[in-house]
Structure 1
Amino acid sequence: MRILRCEPAGAPAGEEARVDLDAVLAEAVAPLTGDASLSVAVLSLPARGEGGGEPIAAYGGTTAYDTASIVKVDVLAALLLLAQDEGRQLNGAELGYADAMIRRSDNTSATRLWRVIGGAAGLDAANARLGLTSTTAARAWGLTRTTAPDQVRLLRAVFGPAGGSVLREASRAYVRELMGGVEADQRWGVSAAGTGWALKNGWMPRTTTGLWDINSIGRVTAGGRTRLVAVLSDGHATKEAGIALVESVARAAVAAVGGA
């Protein structure tokens, strides 16, 4: 069911559409969440020859979550920006670490590149350029805090129209290649919502609670359109339960926004 909301006179252009998409998304997702805390954001990219596309639709979009390993995409974007600024290509060691960090989610490689980009300060500086407004880097990279809309903004810098990104096309293509080739046992999450996926997942048990953080970000094709999707969550009793919820929410979110 499409939910329409009337906006007061003088509302900014596009505000009615934004609120409408949020409401449609909430109706689809809220009944699925159970005891976990969860946020999801979806952006439909414009088809070739169209304009700027739809706004980001979000449910729970102001709530920040631990990134766990999804921050590795952000670390790679920061590394590529650094290389661009220095007028160079990634060196052999950096290429090896980047490949392992994204495809295998290797933590040692992520830590090596974290140091190259300048740690938390370097990531925050890169995110200011990438348009991320609600992401705060932590001293331990996996505890970086972010929101689902910010993760979609990061994905847009990689998968969206080239003219709207500070990343060069070669850099964007490299990130897309790695995200499209993650190892078989990590091909869960937003990939459940469509085909042609490219993704990065994050999973982390919290020692203080014994509960799991489960996150998934990426691109899928559904209904003939490219969708950028981020699902962030915590409070899961098991990793498997978290994955099942993230996948069901991703499917519901993409279906709802695609039909809105």
Structure 2
Amino acid sequence: MLLGAAAWKLSGPDASEPGRAPVAAPSNAADLAPEPSPSPTASASPTPRPVDRGELAKAIEKAVKGDARVSVSVSDLTDGTSYTYGASRRFVTASIVKVDILAALLLQAQDRGRALTASEKSLATRMIENSDNAAANALWSAIGGAAGLAKADRRLGLKETTATSVSWGLTSTSARDQVRLLNALVSGGGPLSKRSRRYILGLMSQVDTTQDWGVSAGAAAGDAVALKNGWLPRSTDGGLWVINSIGRIKGDHDYSIAVLSDRNPSMDAGVALVETVTEAVLDGLS
């Protein structure tokens, strides 16, 4: 059930993010610990399940209303099954880029052989759990802005994400690249240490209850969820809304999923679209 948006705004250029009425959010950081890197003697990966891509595309298109656009990408780490719709589409990130900013900060700290400072940890908590824009501004400056994010993204394997010095929230990305980022948080073998990956997923598993919407709609009872959402009315689109949601859902399967959308007539309409698409895709894959 969707609840109305509260009437408050966060500061920042073209980056207002109204809150939403509370819903329950699980505290499940321990269940979302990154998987260890596979050993050389590990058994062969399971065979990906067949995917009816035509039926999934029909379900997604049925959910889209008016001029809204949507793209979704999902990867199941349990067996390698994957699906992407709207692969060529690019969207501004709004606040989902805050996960990327934190990953960049942690990579820089790792390179210098140090842990995050108490101040950096406080800013990171506010940025991820509360989607605080002032905290994001501070950490954006700390990583070196757009250049720092771009350098980290190359190391993380992001191929379709472009930062801009205008605003971190106007970074452009694809659903497919956001799944690459999520998989870099979950799987070993990438540039992020296990400790760094665990730290990011832990914060994502404890987002403020007012922000527990989006891809969490696809979780079954007992699943562990880590997510980050972004919401932004675009002045360049006449006030139409960008609504994005990325996250990990770990239960019988281990999904990394990103649903990005724009040109939504309202925040509620965009959230409804993202949640409907999430449910349709995960139902289709299962």
The TM-score, its normalising length taken from structure 2, stands at 0.78
The aligned counterpart of 1:210 is 239
The SS at the match of 1:216 is: strand
Partner of 1:148: 175
* CA contact 2:105–2:142 (8 Å) conserved in 1: yes
1:37 aligns with 2:64: no
**Which amino acid in the other structure matches residue 166 of structure 1?**
P
- Calculate percent identity across the aligned residue pairs: 49
SS at match of 2:97: helix
Find the counterpart in structure 1 of residue 115 from structure 2. 89
Question: Could you say which residue in structure 1 is the equivalent of 2:158?
Answer: 132
Contact kept in structure 2, 1:24 and 1:257, CA below 8 Å: no
The amino acid across from 2:213 in the alignment is W
C-alpha displacement at 1:55, in angstroms? 5.0
Q: Conserved in 1, the CA contact under 8 Å of 2:51 and 2:285?
A: no
Task: Choose the corresponding residue for 1:123, options 149, 155, 172.
Answer: 149
User: Mind listing any 5+ residue stretches in structure 1 that lack a counterpart?
Assistant: 1-16, 47-52
Q: Which residue does the alignment assign to 2:218? A: 193
- 1:49 matched residue in structure 2: none
Label 1:221 to 1:24 Cα distance change in 2 as closer, same or farther (>3 A).
Answer: farther
Change (3 A) 1:167 1:92: same
Greater RCO structure (CA 8 Å; 6+ sep)? 2
Alpha-carbon distance, 1:149 to partner: 0.4
Secondary structure at the counterpart of residue 188 of structure 1:
coil
Partner of 1:7: none
Q: Residues 47-196 of structure 1: matches in 2 within 5 Å?
A: 53-54=79-80, 56-139=82-165, 140-159=167-186, 161-163=187-189, 165-194=190-219, 195-196=223-224
Change in CA separation of 1:152 and 1:21 when aligned onto 2, cut-off 3 Å: farther
CA drift of 1:20 comes to 5.0
Task: Name the count of aligned residue pairs.
Answer: 233
C-alpha distance in structure 1 between counterparts of 2:102 and 2:82, whole Å: 23
| SS of equivalent residue, structure 2 residue 235 | coil
The residue type paired with residue 90 of structure 2 is A
- 1:128-178: per-residue Cα shift (whole Å, max 9, x none)? 00010000001110000000000000000112x223x21100000000100
1:227 Cα deviation (Å)?
A: 0.8
Q: Does 1:247 align with 2:272?
A: no
The 3 A distance-change label for structure 1 pair 243 and 205 is same
The alignment partner of 1:162 has SS state of coil
- Please, what TM-score do these two structures have when normalized by structure 1? 0.86
What residue ranges of structure 2 are gaps of 5+ in the alignment?
Answer: 1-47
Give the superposition deviation at 1:28: 2.7
- Structure number having the greater helix percentage: 1
Partner of 1:12 in structure 2?
none
Partner of 2:39: none
